[in-house]
Amino acid sequence: MAFTAAVITFPGSNCDRDLAVAIEQVCGGTVHRVWHGDAALPAGLDFIALPGGFSYGDYLRSGAMAARSPVMRAVIDEAARGVAVLGVCNGFQVLTEAGLLPGALMRNAGIRFVCREVPLRVENNQSLFTARYGAGQRIVIPVAHHDGNFFADEETLDRIEGEGRVAFRYDEPVNGSQRGIAGVLNAGGNVLGMMPHPERMIEAAQGGSDGRALFESVLAGLNVAA
């Protein structure tokens, strides 16, 4: 079976094409583009990706409306079946709002929109999404967000840290996130949400390729032909 992925587009998504191109270039196979209003996903998916952007204009809360759109019912079902799900930036916000990941993404502590390259530490390199990175590896990936300030109560933070579910941590202050958390895994390890944009760092022409190993990890971990 060839690698089969889907990138969801919500009204206001703006990184959906970048994400689809990154998956195509690194993982090969077929990348379906799926509209948020679709109630069903294509059959036989290995990987579902939720892109960055400003779905529904960030109305109510970032990701709140998108998390209740028809396609998310199917995404939640697929995630429960163990399909790999990645949410980048607004996609991360959607995953927390949908209850697939713990915590919430609040307004940046400094109020300002942050748009720059940031250093990250790979905290857990044993996951489906990070196995091609070294333990504690320092990588540089861009962020571009207004609401990336990860919040969860202390008990939840202790639990996700204890379970190795912090995939990436900022290596310098960025947005006020609790414990510098930049990317979080679900309990099953098949859902990852992260504020930084790995799809913007897959080849030298983009200024770096530190995001490439994330997609390589997924491809290798799922053990399907490219």
| Residues tagged active-site | 89, 197, 199
Nearer to another protein, 193 or 198 (CB): 193
> Is the Cβ–Cβ distance between 184 and 191 less than 8 Å?
no
Least Cβ distance, residue 169 to another protein (angstroms)? 19
Nearer to another protein, 17 or 179 (CB): 179
Least Cβ distance, residue 101 to another protein (angstroms)? 10
Query: Whole-angstrom Cα distance, residue 74 to residue 87?
Result: 15
Least Cβ distance, residue 166 to another protein (angstroms)? 17
Nearer to another protein, 32 or 146 (CB): 146
Query: Whole-angstrom Cα distance, residue 133 to residue 72?
Result: 30
Q: What residues make contact with another protein under the rule CB under 8 A?
A: 60-61, 64, 68, 96-97, 102-104, 106-111, 149, 151-152, 176
* Backbone CA torsion sign across 41, 89, 152, 68: negative
> Is the Cβ–Cβ distance between 48 and 84 less than 8 Å?
yes
Quick one: angle between helices 16-27 and 212-222, nearest 10?
60
Query: Whole-angstrom Cα distance, residue 192 to residue 184?
Result: 6
Nearer to another protein, 40 or 109 (CB): 109
Bridge partners (DSSP) listed for residue 31: 5
Least Cβ distance, residue 96 to another protein (angstroms)? 8
